[in-house]
Amino acid sequence: MPESLSPDNFFIPFDRSATAYSLPEKFSYPFAYKPHALALVASEKLQVYLQRQQEWEHNFGLVEGQQGTVIGKMFGVLVVETAQNELGYLAAFSGKLAGSYHHLKFVPPVYDSLAEGSFLNTGMRELTRINQEIGALEKQPTGESKTQIELLRKMRKTNSVALQEKLFDQYHFRNQAGEEKSLRALFHNSSNGNPPAGAGDCAAPKLFQYAFQHNMKPIALAEFWWGLSPKSAHWKHGHFYPACQEKCQPILAHMLQGIAMDEKPQEQPH
């Protein structure tokens, strides 16, 4: 059967060429691994799609003269086996793509903070209003306006912290056993006890969440960078990278519980 999208548009079956590869005995340690051959096949198929698709427009910095800010993106594929023993893969991107969390062929976010009428949109509008009020008062440097500005800045900080905490509370991650944990619970023992901004929106957690929600068995993972690298980072177009420690380690430690996994590679002496 040629590769096609299943009815839910997210599980992508392999064609017969995938039968040439044997399945790995264990799942790769996600923070240091060499992508399995099947994950490389899935990645290649996704990269061909990224080059040819015309459903959305995102400036990766690969086409000269393209409009919009250049934003490279981390993509991921997860080779899975369905409950019907069908082999295929899921695809995901980190954060947003072309201004949205939802696109054909890619699994949905763990939580969609951009949904119409969401508390985040309402909260962000209020923060914008406070900023505008501060800006207007700064043009009237009187003693009274300075007092008002200080009060508004405190209100802005309080609102911002509360909004971020409420956002974190919306994220719950599932593992193979169906056990769910909140984002804040997973980062409770981290250095400052709070998740970093953007935690839960990386490609890998999205992929495992969808797989476990739909009774799929993870087989192999691969993540690659697509586009120009931001000046502050080392990512290179088309190169493969492990899951990030800062945002994903506590999440994946929970999500991958009970899965037979390769040992963590020993660090080489310098």
HEC sequence for the chain: CCCCCCCCCCCEECCHHHHHCCCCCCECCCCCCCCCHHHHHHHHHHHHHHHHCCCCCCCCCCCCCCCCCCCCEEEEEEEEECCCCCEEEEEEECCCECCECCCCCCCCCCCCCCCCCCHHHHHHHHHHHHHHHHHHHHCCCCHHHHHHHHHHHHHHHHHHHHHHHHHHCCCEEECCCCCEEEHHHHCCCCCCCCCCCCCCCCHHHHHHHHHHHCCCEEEEEEEEEECCCCCCCCCCCCCECCCCHHHHHHHHHHHCCCCCECCCCCCCCC
| Global confidence as pTM | 0.86
Query: Nearest Cα to 79, choosing from 11, 139, 181?
Result: 11
Task: State yes or no: pLDDT of 128 exceeds 60.
Answer: yes
Q: What is the mean pLDDT of residues 145-158?
A: 93
Kindly indicate the confidence band of residue 72, based on its pLDDT and cuts at 50, 70 and 90.
very high
Domain ranges of the chain: 12-111+174-255, 119-166
Task: State yes or no: pLDDT of 2 exceeds 50.
Answer: no
Q: What is the mean pLDDT of residues 239-259?
A: 94
pLDDT computed for residue 97 by the predictor:
95
Average pLDDT value over all residues in the chain: 90
Task: State yes or no: pLDDT of 3 exceeds 70.
Answer: no
Task: State yes or no: pLDDT of 18 exceeds 90.
Answer: no
Q: What is the mean pLDDT of residues 33-53?
A: 96
Phi, psi of 123 (to 5 degrees): -65, -40
pLDDT computed for residue 231 by the predictor:
72
pLDDT computed for residue 40 by the predictor:
97
Dist CA 1 CA 176 (whole Å): 29
Kindly indicate the confidence band of residue 186, based on its pLDDT and cuts at 50, 70 and 90.
very high
